[in-house]
Amino acid sequence: MKCVCPSGGDRICPDDCYLAIWAGLSKADRKAQRKTIATKLYEQKFTEEEIAKQLGVSQSTIRDDLANLVVSTKLKPAKTAANPKGAGRPKGSGKSRSERSLEQEDRAAFLMDMGKTVEEIADDLDVVVRRAHQVMEHVVIKRDALADPNIDRSELSLTAQQKLDAAIRQHQRKLDLIFEGRVQEEIKKRLDHLILPVWRKKIAEAQKIYDSRRSITNKETFNLIVRCLHTDTRKHVGDDVVNDAFVRFMALEKYLLNEKDSPTKFTGLPTTAAEWEQRKQEAAALRRAKRGHSNVERRA
């Protein structure tokens, strides 16, 4: 197997190479044996930063794994370009401890809101359960500090109670005004966009119908009929005027009644010239008879 050590190059890993052993482990076995392998690599003069890089975890996780080692057994990190003195804790990712803590707290708060357990949070943050407990406690403390204080009115002095009541009334009036303004704005919006457009459309349609209607008589005939029917004016109307109104009103029969109440009679039209001539003679004879009857009445 090709060597996976930081300085292994192209040489073949020995059978007891812990990085080679780590590469062959499953995810579950890696979590169970990470602390042991991290300890062995540290004893082989690997720095915490190198161990974290090789095992694919954060440097803080490796630091927790090595926390129980006897201080005297810990070896000083080797001299590197990032750590030329070779002493002290190796440089990490460049983030301060407070920045890393804030990131952990933000992530833990998100997971807590999702209902995750402390073990699941610890696994997500890649820290031990004890550290996850600490992060979660910090989250709870911060949330409690930001929450509104629970004020017991009975514990306040009389003056403080009066001031509190006044402040509540003032705030309530402010909320009422805001609510009233929102209600009025919503009413205006609904009128402008829902109700009034519908009414404007209905009025426009009605106006179109009014403008397109046609009369069946004129104003003169209408007024004449009204004069003959009204109790205040019919006493002063002569018989000739009443007869005129009657004739005009009867002329409206076909417009005022339907076909059922006032059926229209159609006579058969002539189909030949002989029938046409016969109809003409019959009509002329009828007119002569009417004229003769009228002359007799006048002589009488």
Residue 214 has which token pair?
């046609």
pLDDT of 262 over the 60 cut: yes
pLDDT of 80 over the 70 cut: no
- Please calculate the CA angle 199-205-208 and round it to the nearest 5 degrees: 140
What end-to-end distance do the CA atoms of the chain give, in Å? Answer: 150
pTM: 0.28
pLDDT score at 11: 45
Dihedral through CA 72, CA 77, CA 49, CA 80, nearest 10?
A: 180
pLDDT band for position 50 (50/70/90)?
confident
To the nearest 10 degrees (0 to 180), the angle between helices 129-146 and 118-125 is 100
Query: What mean pLDDT is predicted for residues 52-59?
Result: 85
Query: Would you say the C-alpha torsion 112, 113, 115, 121 has a positive or negative sign?
Result: negative
Closest by Cα among 192, 202, 248 to 223: 248
> Computed over its alpha carbons, how large is the radius of gyration of the chain?
54
Cβ contacts of residue 14 below 8 Å, gap of 6+?
Answer: 20
In this predicted model, what pLDDT tens digit does every residue of 96-122 receive, in sequence order?
Answer: 777 788 888 888 888 888 888 988 898
pLDDT band for position 247 (50/70/90)?
very high
pLDDT band for position 264 (50/70/90)?
confident
Query: What is d(CA 78, CA 41) in angstroms, rounded to the nearest whole number?
Result: 13
Query: What is d(CA 41, CA 6) in angstroms, rounded to the nearest whole number?
Result: 11
Query: What mean pLDDT is predicted for residues 270-298?
Result: 82
Residue 59, judged by CB atoms within 10 A of its CB (0-12, 13-18, 19+), counts as buried
Lowest pLDDT segment from 65-69, 160-164, 202-206, 288-292: 65-69
pLDDT score at 19: 79
Return the domain boundaries, the chain: 1-94, 95-147, 159-212, 216-262
Is the distance from CB of 126 to CB of 58 less than 8 angstroms? yes
Query: What is d(CA 250, CA 244) in angstroms, rounded to the nearest whole number?
Result: 10
Lowest pLDDT segment from 1-10, 15-24, 155-164, 210-219: 1-10
Query: What is d(CA 274, CA 33) in angstroms, rounded to the nearest whole number?
Result: 128
Lowest pLDDT segment from 6-20, 49-63, 78-92, 284-298: 78-92
To the nearest 10 degrees (0 to 180), the angle between helices 118-125 and 97-113 is 140
Look at residue 33 and give its three-state secondary structure: helix
Is the distance from CB of 240 to CB of 248 less than 8 angstroms? no
Higher pLDDT: 294 or 190? It is 190
